[in-house]
Amino acid sequence: MCDSQSMNRNMIRRLVASLFFVAFVTLIAATVAGERSVPLGLDLYMPIPEDNPPTTEKIALGRRLFRDRVLSGDRTRACVNCHNPRRAFTDGRPVAVGVRGQTGTRSAPTLVNRGYGRSFFWDGRAPTLEVQVLEPIANPKELDLAVSEAVDRLARAPGYRDAFHATFGRTVNAEDLARALASYVRSILDGNAPIDRFMNGDREALSPQAREGLNIFRGKGNCTACHVGPTLADEQFHNTGVAWKDGELRDPGRFAVSRRDVDRGAFKTPTLREIARTAPYMHDGSLATLDEVVEFYNQGGRANPFRDRELRPLGLTVADKQALLAFFRSLSGNVREGPD
């Protein structure tokens, strides 16, 4: 029985790895006021709500709002402060910093390719981008502004009042604020990395060391158990032990949403795209470098009662680790955002 279960798991992993390669080489198109190409390596399908089809006007308005401190209670912070385009839409801090210097408990994840997400935030509590984008505005440790007050501020500003009316054909409201911001986030795309060119037939796009890293990623490292598909993330929740320290659970993670014991200390798999540019790592920013991340997984994560069963000591050599790091660097591509 155990041998059969192990064989089935191995077959599933091989199938997932195969699908990873098929998906990785897909060149796609999305619709924004006509056909709009997206970077090499991304998927053909992006899940967009029927009531919020993308338009150039919505994306432009969302981009403007994303950068405007009008959406913070004391007008000192904006979304861009935690999601800086120059840092692949992260902030380089272990945890996010909001108004009045307040710090949260989790890091600001990259926004690249989040339009492909199935749930949002590290614990997956938001089912859509339209729900997600309003939470940081209202969060007292982030922008600390009631959404109703944000709407009032925008309605009193002639430039925004006119922009919302031109874009949506009506006065400013919370639903359209969410639609504009979500549309902009969906425009933040990242692809055409060396790995994408390699998988699309350019055999010189990866160095020999990075190619060896790819083999380890698929095989000995077991990385594709979680990091699969064009975004290199399975959109599932895994307990790697990061939230467990000194035998105690420091952050409930997905459990706070699902109330399932198996989700204690589990967090959503982050994308590996732009991973070389988005330090520090993990949901709490507790690992400062990619070398530390590789060693963390080489040790099998951190033991706890609910650790993901895919985690185990890997026995990577120094050469293996260096090859993996070379592969991770090949995942940095071209980030683009905003209306064409």
Tell me what pLDDT residue 311 has. 97
In the structure, what pLDDT confidence band is assigned to residue 12 with cuts at 50, 70 and 90? very low
Chain mean pLDDT for the chain: 91
- By C-alpha distance, which of 144, 252, 187, 151 is closest to 53? 187
Tell whether the model's pLDDT for residue 13 goes beyond 80: no
Residues forming beta bridges with residue 336, ordered by sequence position: 189
Tell whether the model's pLDDT for residue 330 goes beyond 50: yes
Secondary structure of 192-203 as H, E, C letters = CCHHHHHHCCCC
Tell me what pLDDT residue 37 has. 79
Tell me what pLDDT residue 339 has. 86
- pLDDT tens digits, residue range 181-210? 999 999 999 999 999 999 999 999 999 999
Q: Which CATH number fits domain 16-27+191-336: 1.10.760.10, 3.40.50.2020, 3.40.50.10860, 3.30.360.10?
A: 1.10.760.10
Instruction: Say if pTM beats, i.e. exceeds, 0.85.
Output: yes
Cα–Cα distance for residue pair 199/39, rounded to 1 Å:
14
Tell whether the model's pLDDT for residue 16 goes beyond 70: no
Tell whether the model's pLDDT for residue 6 goes beyond 70: no
Residue spans per domain, the chain: 16-27+191-336, 49-187
The reply to whether 49-187 shares the fold of 16-27+191-336 is: yes
Residue 84 in 3-state DSSP?
A: strand
Q: Which CATH number fits domain 49-187: 1.10.760.10, 2.70.98.10, 3.40.710.10, 3.40.50.2300?
A: 1.10.760.10
- Helices 158-168 & 56-66, crossing angle to 10 degrees? 150
Cα–Cα distance for residue pair 62/219, rounded to 1 Å:
41
Q: Which of 36-40, 78-82, 170-174, 266-270 is predicted with the least confidence, judged by mean pLDDT?
A: 36-40
Provide the CA 8 distance to its chain's centre, in angstroms: 30
Tell whether the model's pLDDT for residue 271 goes beyond 90: yes
